[in-house]
Structure 1
Amino acid sequence: MSATTESPAPDQHRAWPPANPPEPTYVDDRLNYWAEATPDAEAMTYLGRTWTWREWHERVHRAAGGLRDLGIARGDVVSFLDKNHPACVEISLAAGSIGAANAIINWRSAGDEIDYAVNDSGAKVLFVGRESMPTIEAIRDRLPNVERIIEVTPEGGEDDAYEQFLAASTACADGPDVLEDDVCLVMYSSGTTGRPKGVMLTHRNMVKHTVNSHDGWVFEPGDKSMVAMPLFHVGGSSYVLMGIHDGVPSVMTREPDAASLAGAILAGANRTFLVPAVLAQVLQAGPDAVKPVRPAQDLHLRRRADAAAAAARCDGGLAGHRLHPGLRPHRGGRRRDPPDARGPPHRRGRRPPRAAGLRRQADPRGRGAHRRPRDPHRRGRRRARRDLAEDPAGDEGLPQQARGDRRGRHRGRLVPHRRHGPRRRGRLRLRLRPAQGHDHHRR
């Protein structure tokens, strides 16, 4: 008699993520998947507005159709200038779906830096936030390649030109000629050593970065991601793709200030990526701004907050650096290794005792590499001076460089020191001889 075992129902033993989506190839593949797998689930929340995966998918493909109506094709570039806004992500995904790229401009830049980045990228369409419109109007004559400027407002509404642009557009499918190595995103550097430099990122770059960055951690059921880093920063534009990749809802803040972070956390966000400098600003805002951060459920957020608080108290300026879990900031900016990384206790933070009769050895870790190499003739000269002290008459028979110890007549004064070999006119160098009889300058 054979026994049969019923297979579990599809809804039983469901793990996270709720489905097993195929490996993505383009930046919008996971958005297309979640729009079909979980169409009514929450996808993005921004300033009180929330979109489901189906609604967000519709907006992205309407934006792609609108860009095509404006003449944007494969290989072209559009640009976005504003603080954090879901429209920036929508334009990035829409442009990538038709083979174009979105150049995100730092909204903190000055006018001459903005026109340089826009002209350098070759953008034909420029999406501008309402707060940055006065700057664009002042440099409009210096943007010859820009054919259309579309204004974006934080709250949206009937007077929002971007919302009107979406409403007048028709959704279109992904471009059939788009390749993995097509540029989909252009990020500009800060320009600390010159003009900002555009970094061209392809679909393959962004997808592989999203997949590889997931190594070692996953989103759990009920998690909500907070996108607070500026989207012109790679930390913002790359982290927002992780929530899209795993199908978890995201809460986007307009700026990474204390009030915005507190509001997102109170809205349920418990996963985020922040640099220590941002957390230091939150801590400097006062204890009231830190209260909402303390009950956050994400362990990574609490660890980063504590690390930033400790780094901000250092005199060495470690607030802008990422701290390894095994390292702790030290007063004065010096780095201390973890207790088990430097051997026995006498090697932890202080010099080990030196045994009697042993000379200092070169540190294998590289300390002392700047010291002057040992003179092979030093021992001979010391022996000559010792013999001379016992027999002063032997001074005449010694070489010039080992003749006598004349410190008694030249205490603490600069005296000519002859070079080896015959004397040459004008080839003298000065040496300061110590006032005491110890040979300090030869150690």
Structure 2
Amino acid sequence: MRLSESEISDGLMHDKLIVRDEVVRYFRRTRRLQPDITRKVIEAVDKFGWQDVFRWSYQVGRFTLDEALLPWALEQIQRSDDGAPDEDLRFHLAHMISCSPVEVLRSQSDQILSEELFHQNLSRQTNAPTMADAIERRLEIHEQSAETCWDELLKHCETIASVDTFQKANIPKCKILIDRIVEDHEFSCSRHGDIREMLSQASRPNEASEWIVGLMVILAGRLRLADTVPLLYRHYEVDWDWYNEVITHSLVQIGTEDVQNYVAERYADEPWYIRKFGLSVFEDFYTESGLFRVSSLLEQEQDSELRGDLGVAAASHFDEAGIDIARSVFLENPDNPGYQAIIERLLAHSYLAELNLPEQDKWELQINQPRKGLERLRKELDRRIAATVQSQKTFRNNPQMLTGTSHRIDTGHTKHPRNSLCPCGSGKKYKKCCMRKPTLLQ
């Protein structure tokens, strides 16, 4: 038997941190971010406090505010007492506000834009847009018709056809245009054929079409166009991290049994990275046949990491039918650190549903020590973030302190296939070199 959504959401108020962590993860991964869930997340924050509510409290910022909830987020930003959110959390709360529905922003824009935090440039890029700029841009674009936004999106894609960075492509602006198009149901329905055509125009997008194809992937997911699943899936072949991420996200947004069936039917013949991304459709949304598919894929899969992912998927939906599947995968290699996510999900389910699994006490001891280490790491990370934010404020207020020239390797925003040679000149493949490094300033 599977717990109901209401029973799962009750876990946000559970006394055990592991239950709260797994429940907030469940709603975040399954894109259940609506205000009714946000209310329960807020209740948990108010009960346990920012330091103890979740292992990673920034996740609160992923949920959606409505007009009644927005004052709470503003109040948290303004707090200065001992229980106030730290600088990093304040940033995530501000981002949460800036991503609120346009009607909420429009009604509260004066109050929001009066907060200094929204006007701070927290980017390393000079003159980068602030959250206030993004809010004003969203409000401006949503004043336009969906048809105007569609035309602007296509024109913008023509303009950026030859650029090779996300910064130059201005993807955030494109996503705002997509928001407006999706908002107008009648108009967006009239463009379904155009979206399909652009997704199918090339088996491998070229430099002139790769940005627009990626954006049509996003749009197909937002509109839940079930008949585009084969077209979306085909573009995994490009093996570009951005494509892999937006394709996976769109398949999850469509979220039907047909999506899971399509992935499962092709699974055995796919390269490792496509199997890796494809497994997200079994973890990130629930269907009645999903566990059957997971069991079938375990019969085919020999790779230890991907078997672990299948075990995690089986344990991710608070369904008793998945317990034995996940448990058997974990017991194949109980010392594998990558398998810890399996027992974290099983323990949370056991505590929430009062199941009392045989290994429950042993597993709890097994995860407690790493979690204590993570807690120390989190506190150190919070300290470093606060120091970095203060340093950035100092440099913005005293530009004369900046001397010399900064040389930037923009590893996170340049389009490089993961299997190509790294642009840094090391001779290694990109995925083995700078793709895994943070942006560097030398």
Normalised TM-score (structure 2): 0.24
More contact order relative to length (CA 8 Å, sep ≥ 6): 2
**Structure richer in strand, relative to its length:** 1
* Higher percent of residues as helix: 2
Q: Of the two, which has the highest radius of gyration? A: 1
